[in-house]
């Protein structure tokens, strides 16, 4: 995996070959992004099969690993969803080799399916970009928050998939990138991705988006999600809600790129979704490239001040213009989601 | 003056004894905050009187200095207001010594009046804090953005004046401090001020306030302003507008501490107020205390990415619950402001 903590200052690839190393990589955010931590957890569950020699041992090891991996981070639903799939595949298979094959196949299928979902979100979202581009004769200005790019998703990304596809097809696009404090996934990761792909972009502080909307400098907002409830409430990186409010106040469309793996059909009311609180040092300190080379951290706050670090917030469904899923675009309502995913009625 | 760029990591006091040094201190934000840059500009205009020997020389020097100082920063109205007062006092005085005295007296009067205004805002705002405290039996949670403390205002502060007064009178208060990217005036300055005064506080990212409001963790918002139009539209640090939207969405009062020196009676429509754009490096880099001692800057963004740095935004009057002025509390409307400042009808 790419250890994303070091981007954009260094490209560090890390081998993860134990359940514990996968757990640490997820918790400490070497890997992050809802689809990616799902895929990583699935691979972690598969790795648990390799340290045992009996069918019963495989079952016990995978059950234990899945319970453990699900504790790494609480908010994104993909993590539990993916780990449970590997566990269920193992439990349903018979025999030692078959269980190991089932785990490997389940993990690989999650990766392949996530790739397909992102690619299809790109095609579905391209309709929105093309329609918006047809209404203007200047480059389209899209605001995004955090990183819902290929780094978060194996490839394509969710929110970035339509952007890359539109750019590749010659549409003139410019992306406003929220820096996304405290971990700066926008300034570090989305900016790096877009730059590598040649997509024009400008990094702004998280404070600036409302002002840009008031001035007509944003055509629409496009973000990802860590968990969306069946009623259409969107749990995403802290600060997403503020941008949704500003979009509504300025009559600007607010879209959420939503692979079905991020839908939590079991939850309606978003207040039951656990909101991760992370180390306050992520607020106190900022890490970046140092003038003398390498990276360094600086402390901004006074020594005696405390900080709080909430990682996600909830954007109510009524602030979301539409979801872009791998099966098409739908309103941010339960009936909208069920119309695209009728099999969800069984959940 | 305190060179605020170094806080909270070092307390550096800078002597400003030329017009040029005052200009640089304002432009480069050694001093910042609407009331303080007004006072600094007034002192700068006075300094212009000291390098000439004739009444005509004083007039010319002050006129030139005032024009120059007003270019240092465009958004806060106090700067031009204060500098013009010194110029007008000089032009109305007769004789060399009288002109110098007039400049000194005008600058000192601006300082004294600003102190009085802040002190009175504290007393007026205390009513709001006491009323809110009477409705709850836990510490009051107040959110503030940027620094509208004594560092911005010579003493007391505007938004902080009621907070300090309430704290001193034994009311239980806790302040959520927006870090206020890109220059981190909240994390660096407001946190330092509140800590020095013993006021409980917690620094949060600018992204977090909406989430805290949704969870009932904020009783009201209290901010300052760099310029408020006569219609009640509030130009303040970038990101203020997003907090005002969230406050309205969660039925939380949003107050603006407004010394009359920050009211621009000449402007109704806020779109004509110049919004300062500062160096993009303020977004690319973050400065703080380094682990080895001293301060350092780190770059967060990739080398090839550009950034934009808008310093202020406009909060529409309809999102403001009330203004706290030195003469009392009023609705955020032209009639509300004129009722407290009837002499403004002549402007």
| One-character DSSP codes across B191-207 | HHHHHHHT--EEEE-TT
Do B156 and B121 form a contact (C-beta atoms < 8 A)? yes
Residue whose C-alpha is closest to residue B237's, from B224, B247, B250, B249: B224
Higher pLDDT among residues B136 and B145, named by residue: B145
Task: Average the pLDDT over B324-339 and give the result.
Answer: 98
Q: Which residues pair with B198 in a beta bridge?
A: none
How high does pLDDT run on average in chain A?
A: 97
Q: Tens digit of pLDDT for each residue in A206-219?
A: 999 999 999 999 99
Query: Which of the residues B226, B251, B279, B281 is marked catalytic?
Result: B226
Q: Which residues pair with A322 in a beta bridge?
A: A255
Percent of chain B surpassing pLDDT 90: 97
Nearest to A291 among B212, B297, B306 (CB): B297
Give the gap in angstroms from C-alpha A276 to the nearest C-alpha of chain B.
12
Nearest to A308 among B204, B245, B283 (CB): B204
Residue with tokens 């160096």: B279
Residues of A that are catalytic = 226
Q: Tens digit of pLDDT for each residue in B28-46?
A: 999 999 999 999 999 999 9
Q: B-chain residues within 8 Å CB-CB of A180?
A: 207
Q: Which residue of B has its CA nearest to A307?
A: B203
What domains does chain A contain, in order, with CATH numbers?
A: 4-114 (1.20.120.420), 127-346 (3.40.50.10470)
Residue B288 to residue B295: CA distance in whole angstroms = 5
Burial (CB count <10 Å: 0-12, 13-18, 19+), residue B10: exposed
Containing A254, the helix (H) or strand (E) segment is strand A254-257
pLDDT at B347: 67
DSSP string, B261-303: GGEETT-SSGGGSPPPB--THHHHEEEEEETTSSEEEEE-S-T
pLDDT at A53: 92
Q: Which residue of B has its CA nearest to A194?
A: B305
Residue whose C-alpha is closest to residue B210's, from A165, A249, A26, A197: A249
Please report the residues numbered 178 through 237 in chain A whose beta carbons come closer than 8 angstroms to any beta carbon of chain B: 179-182, 184, 187-188, 191-192, 194-195, 201-212, 214, 237
Residue A130 to residue A125: CA distance in whole angstroms = 9
The pTM of the whole model exceeds 0.95: yes
Q: Tens digit of pLDDT for each residue in B181-215?
A: 999 999 999 999 999 999 999 999 999 999 999 99
Two structure tokens written together for A95: 């025999």
Report CB contact under 8 Å: A300, B238: no
Report CB contact under 8 Å: B289, A298: yes
Q: What are phi and psi of B137, to 5 degrees?
A: -115, 20
- Interface size between A and B, measured as CB pairs under 8 A: 219
The number of C-alpha atoms within 13 Å of A332 and in the hemisphere containing its C-beta is 22
Residue A193 to residue A176: CA distance in whole angstroms = 13
Nearest to B305 among A195, A205, A308 (CB): A195
Q: Tens digit of pLDDT for each residue in A89-107?
A: 999 999 999 999 999 999 9
Residue A172 to residue A219: CA distance in whole angstroms = 13
Is the pLDDT assigned to residue A177 strictly greater than 80?
yes
């Amino acid at each position: 995996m790419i250890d994303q903590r070091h981007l954009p200052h260094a490209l560090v690839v890390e081998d993860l070959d134990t359940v514990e190393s996968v757990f640490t990589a997820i918790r400490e955010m070497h890997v992050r992004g809802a689809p990616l931590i799902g895929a990583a957890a699935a691979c972690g569950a598969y790795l648990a099969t390799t340290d045992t020699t009996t069918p019963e041992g495989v079952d016990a090891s995978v059950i234990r690993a899945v319970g453990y991996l699900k504790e790494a981070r609480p908010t994104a639903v993909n993590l539990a969803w993916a780990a449970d799939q590997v566990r269920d595949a193992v439990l349903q298979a018979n025999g030692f080799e078959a269980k190991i094959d089932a785990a490997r196949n389940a993990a690989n299928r999650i990766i392949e399916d996530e790739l397909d979902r992102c690619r299809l979100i790109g095609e579905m979202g391209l309709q929105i970009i093309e329609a918006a581009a047809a209404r203007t004769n200047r480059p389209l200005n899209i605001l995004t928050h955090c990183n819902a790019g290929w780094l978060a998703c194996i490839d394509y990304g969710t929110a970035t998939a339509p952007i890359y596809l539109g750019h590749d097809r010659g549409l003139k696009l410019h992306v406003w990138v929220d820096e996304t404090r405290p971990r700066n996934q926008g300034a570090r990761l989305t900016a790096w991705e877009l730059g590598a792909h040649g997509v024009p972009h400008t990094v702004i502080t998280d404070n600036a988006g409302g002002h840009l909307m008031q001035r007509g400098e944003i055509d629409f907002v496009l973000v990802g999600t860590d968990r969306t409830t069946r009623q259409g409430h969107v749990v995403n990186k802290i600060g997403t809600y503020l941008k949704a409010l500003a979009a509504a106040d300025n009559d600007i469309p607010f879209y959420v790129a939503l692979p079905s793996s991020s839908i939590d059909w079991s939850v309606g009311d978003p207040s039951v979704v656990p909101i991760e609180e992370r180390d306050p040092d992520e607020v106190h300190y900022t890490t970046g490239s140092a003038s003398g080379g390498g990276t360094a951290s600086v402390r901004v706050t006074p020594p005696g001040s405390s900080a709080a670090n909430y990682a996600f917030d909830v954007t109510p469904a009524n602030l979301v213009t539409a979801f872009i899923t791998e099966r098409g675009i739908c309103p941010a309502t339960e009936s909208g989601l069920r119309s695209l995913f009728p099999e969800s009625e069984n959940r």
